[in-house]
Amino acid sequence: MEGIDPKLLSKLKEVFQRELVQREKETLEYWMNELIKVYQKNHQTLAEFKADIRKYIDRMRNRLEVIKTKGF
């Protein structure tokens, strides 16, 4: 990348990396909290627990599909 100040490029990389880490942290916190809700729920049977896990998996699968098709 000729013509770009190396200090500026380094700073941009640092800002981008920081933003990327922050977004990943927020995403992981969200999905972890959703899993905690499932875990803390008082399931009477294994079937109820599996149904809740299936809903969670479906939500994640749907979200991934949206990201794949629409992207940025």
Q: Report domain extents, the chain.
A: 1-40, 43-72
Kindly give, in sequence order, each residue whose CB lies less than 8 Å from that of residue 41, ignoring residues fewer than 6 positions away: 52
Listed as ranges, residues in the chain with pLDDT below 50 are 1
pTM listed for this prediction = 0.69
* Structure confidence at residue 4 (pLDDT): 84
Alpha-carbon distance 40 to 62, whole Å? 23
Alpha-carbon distance 3 to 5, whole Å? 6
Alpha-carbon distance 3 to 28, whole Å? 38
Q: Where are the alpha helices (DSSP H) in 1-72?
A: 6-40, 46-70
* Structure confidence at residue 72 (pLDDT): 62
